[in-house]
Structure 1
Amino acid sequence: MKRTVLILLFSSISFLTFSQQEEKVWTLRQCIDYAIENNLQVEQSRLNVKSNEQGQLNAYGDLLPSVNGQASHSYNYGQTIDPYTNTFANDWTQSNNFRIGANWTLFNGMRNINNVKKNQLDVMASKQALETAENEISLQVTSAFMDVLFNREQLKVAQSQLEITREQTERTRKLYNAGSVAQGELLNIEAQLAQEEVNKINRENNLNLAVLSLKQLLRISSSEPFEIVSPESFNADQLQMPNQSQSIIETALNNYPSIQQRETEVQSAEMQISLAKGMLSPTISLAGGLATGYSGLRTEVVSVQPSGTREIGYVSGTNQQVVTQTFNQQLRDVPFFDQLDNNLNRNIGFSMSIPIFNNFSTLTSINQAEIQRDIANTRLKQERQTITQDIERAYADAMASFKRYQASKKSVQSLETAFDYSEKRFDVGMINAVDYNTAKNNLIQAKADLLRAKYEYLFRLKVLDFYQGNQIAFE
């Protein structure tokens, strides 16, 4: 019994979880935010920022002194000079060496300081590149989102027209069975029905492909339930065109991340020239250290005791014997820490390196840095030109889309009236199926043109709004 209850409870929770997942719908803003969070290109830009931040930290570290320690423990067999007793050793010898040293570059042509400034600029440029990548994926998601909306409305139109044609087919079949119309009329309307069923399938396929494209941008599994929110009460007539494209261009050239990135890259290239020229200057360094060591041969006298005399010679002429006192010495090995204290050595000094000739490497580095500066300036000009052209094209496309929308709207209104009139005449047998299908196809095409112009107009306006620094979203 308990097992049954647990199974039912688990099934209920699983069903609720699946239902909640299935019912989830996505707004345009949610799609953009999700894509920015999960897109691989954006992730690579984030990693570039982190990499440049580590380079900046390394540049700051170059301003500080470097401190290193060294220790060794060795054994020697055979004849050698003990550095701590300055005597020959022929037996097994143990020794230790310890050293700690510091080196600080005091001046090197301002290269360390300029390197810090360059890395700061590189971090800034990578952050601007990240924002540029986010902008690019935002526009891609917006375009894909609009494509889904467009194809979904296209499908609705196709379904609506298919239902109308089905009703007309049933009505014509009844008239044919009653002998009121010829068989050719029924065949024509049935052919129209078959064609519209194909159109509906094509619209469904287009919608599925549009949804798949959006899912791929978001890196969502194709099998995962996915639904987007349509903008509420969207009316293209209420959207306002900007006064002129020039004001948008000026705003974008001053604030758009890709422009700022290129400008920062130019500044970084200028700083690289200063770095290269710094190689012409001398380098002044301060160095110091402490060193000590231990030798297993180092001994000291503990006590001295007289042991007698020893003949060392004779006095010339008298042959009187000359003797000297002899002693017995008691020795011991000098303790480890005593030797470390006694052998302690301190050193400090300045050094200066003056570049005289280095195989043209400094000259070529300066020339290469200047070339890279020119390349960065060219990229900046190209980016400004690209942004200007994109805005001018988007503005022109928006104007053209709005005009097409207005024209298509009037066309749909006229063709709806014409189709309504044709439908009534077809119902009473005043026109044949061919004329009826012509009027209906004209209306379908006009509605498709209206939808295409509507969403193209909306997308172009969102692009122009985006270039002015505003987020893309439906109110």
Structure 2
Amino acid sequence: MKKTTVIGAFLLLGISLHAQDYKKWTIRECVDYALENNISIKQSELDSNLAEIDKNQAVMNFLPNLTANTSYNINTGSNINPATNQFENQTFKSVSGGVSSGVNLFSGLQNWKNLQRSKLNIIANQYQLDKMKDDISIFVANAFVQILFNKEQLKVLQAQNKITKENLNRTQELVNAGSLPQGDLLEIKATDATQNQQIIAAENDLFISKVGLAQLLQIEDYQSFDVAEEDYGILSDEILHKDASVIIAKAKEELNDIKIAELNYEIAQKDLELTRTNYYPTISAFMGYNTRWSSTNTNFITGEDIPFIEQLYTFDGTSLGIQLNVPIFNRLTTRNNVKRSQVNVERSKYLLEQANLDLESTVYQAYNDAKSAKLAFEAAKQTVEARQLAYEYAEERYTVGLSNAFDFNQSSIQYENAQSDLVRSKYEYIFKLKVLEFYFGIPIDQIN
């Protein structure tokens, strides 16, 4: 009984592993996995963490600082006694220590502006992270659709080759019976060999496309990696009924390219404000407490050494004050830095304008590409229907001996090419339609 249980466990484990080996990845799973494991995204997340740290530091800059210091010295020769401030020409030991604190009262609102900048930088980094996720999603969707195309292309070639092999067997029988010449048989054999080469090439293309997506997902098991085959025959072209200007307006709200450019412009303006704060004087307040001890301090009345703790209380002191620093001349450093910041503001403004123009151009291109892909797909369907009728007619003529194998093979090749063009145009239409929908705010991984 125990042996049977162990064998059953191993069988279940083998079935489980076998199921894992042949897992079919959906496009949603591929996109989610890529967003979770992509190195570039992880690095961008680290940038967001750094921006958050910078913001926390900007908040802490409003608080006063606090420092403590202490020192222990052995003095020989002529030195100032830190407790009495008198020169003593002998060896003595001394200890000094203190605590000090300072606070910035005014520096042209530098801390406040720096805090505002750090908040803008956090948002900019989040937009940059979102943009990177969008780009990765598009890459994954494109690779996924490429695999689907290669799979269907392989099926078309295999189906055509199956028909060719059937014709080959039928022709062999007719040649053996003396109804057809040997040349017809050789013609079909040549077609069969060519199709076999195409199938091998298609299988290689399919494997390479799977490797490409697996590498994008950072999955090392290339051999068992595969995607789910779903029916994408019915496509919704609702997006194509919208005006291009409507899609552009929506894209400016949804996409992060414009948001990033806008925030970079705001950050450049904030950098200019920060640079100008160096024109202003700074006011700071400080407070300190210090004390000291010396091994040679004695009581003048008793002549005994003053105890350590008593010296700390006797020779301590406090300081309290306000400091004003007025910039007068620093070799025009501040002025030149302000000019550099002004140039950066203008550059960011132009980049924002260019980002708007680029987005409009990109959306217009995607809109026209999707419309053209739809027309090409519809034309390809009509071509396949016509080529199928022509192929069936040529097959009938060949069967009854009214045409030769060469003419029949030409019709077969044209039908095969039309089917391949249909597959290519179909998935090209799917991807271009999804890119256009993505600009409208529809997730790239929703393929209907």
Q: Pick the TM interval, shorter chain.
A: over 0.9
| 2:447 partner SS | coil
Query: Counterparts of 2:157 and 2:406 in 1: how far apart (Å)?
Result: 19
Query: Counterparts of 1:298 and 1:9 in 2: how far apart (Å)?
Result: 90
Residue identity matched to 2:433:
L
Number of the residue aligned with 1:69: 68
Number of the residue aligned with 2:91: 92
Shift of 1:168: 0.6
Number of the residue aligned with 2:316: 344
Q: Report matched runs for 1:75-474 at 5 Å.
A: 75-223=74-222, 225-232=224-231, 234-236=233-235, 241-300=240-299, 330-472=302-444, 473-474=446-447
* Cα shift readout 1:191-227 (whole Å, capped 9, x = no counterpart): 0000000111111111111111111211111535211
Residue identity matched to 2:424:
R
Query: Counterparts of 1:111 and 1:285 in 2: how far apart (Å)?
Result: 13
Query: Counterparts of 1:135 and 1:40 in 2: how far apart (Å)?
Result: 15
Task: Give the gaps of 5 or more residues in structure 1.
Answer: 302-328
Number of the residue aligned with 1:45: 44
Shift of 1:175: 0.9
CA contact (8 A) 1:85 1:297 kept: no
CA contact (8 A) 1:144 1:214 kept: yes
Shift of 1:5: 7.7
Query: Counterparts of 2:9 and 2:115 in 1: how far apart (Å)?
Result: 59
Query: Counterparts of 2:7 and 2:363 in 1: how far apart (Å)?
Result: 59
* Cα shift readout 1:100-120 (whole Å, capped 9, x = no counterpart): 111111111111111111111
* Cα shift readout 1:319-338 (whole Å, capped 9, x = no counterpart): xxxxxxxxxx6432222222
Shift of 1:240: 5.5
Query: Counterparts of 2:5 and 2:95 in 1: how far apart (Å)?
Result: 72
Residue identity matched to 2:106:
F
- Cα 1:342–1:330 change in 2 (3 A) is closer
Shift of 1:387: 1.4
Number of the residue aligned with 1:32: 31
| 2:442 partner SS | coil
Query: Counterparts of 1:421 and 1:66 in 2: how far apart (Å)?
Result: 93
Residue identity matched to 1:429:
G
- Cα 1:416–1:126 change in 2 (3 A) is same
- Cα 1:180–1:409 change in 2 (3 A) is same
Residue identity matched to 2:299:
E
Number of the residue aligned with 1:324: none
Residue identity matched to 2:20:
Q
Report the TM-score, using the length of structure 1 for normalisation.
0.90
Report the TM-score, using the length of structure 2 for normalisation.
0.95
| 1:333 partner SS | coil
Larger % of strand: which?
Answer: 1
- Cα 1:465–1:83 change in 2 (3 A) is same
Query: Counterparts of 2:4 and 2:423 in 1: how far apart (Å)?
Result: 53
* Larger-Rg structure: 1
Residue identity matched to 1:362:
T
Shift of 1:6: 9.5
* Cα shift readout 1:134-182 (whole Å, capped 9, x = no counterpart): 1111111111111111111000000100111011111111111111110
- Of stretches 57-66 and 190-199 in structure 1, the one that deviates more from structure 2 is 57-66
- Of stretches 31-40 and 222-231 in structure 1, the one that deviates more from structure 2 is 222-231
Shift of 1:233: 5.4
Query: Counterparts of 1:366 and 1:74 in 2: how far apart (Å)?
Result: 48
Query: Counterparts of 2:404 and 2:440 in 1: how far apart (Å)?
Result: 55
Query: Counterparts of 1:348 and 1:242 in 2: how far apart (Å)?
Result: 75
Query: Counterparts of 1:113 and 1:267 in 2: how far apart (Å)?
Result: 15
Query: Counterparts of 1:439 and 1:338 in 2: how far apart (Å)?
Result: 113
User: Taking every aligned residue pair, what percent have the same amino acid on both sides?
Assistant: 32
Q: CA RMSD in A?
A: 2.0
Query: Counterparts of 1:373 and 1:151 in 2: how far apart (Å)?
Result: 49
Shift of 1:9: 6.9
Shift of 1:125: 0.6
Query: Counterparts of 2:350 and 2:25 in 1: how far apart (Å)?
Result: 41
Residue identity matched to 1:413:
E
- Cα 1:240–1:468 change in 2 (3 A) is closer
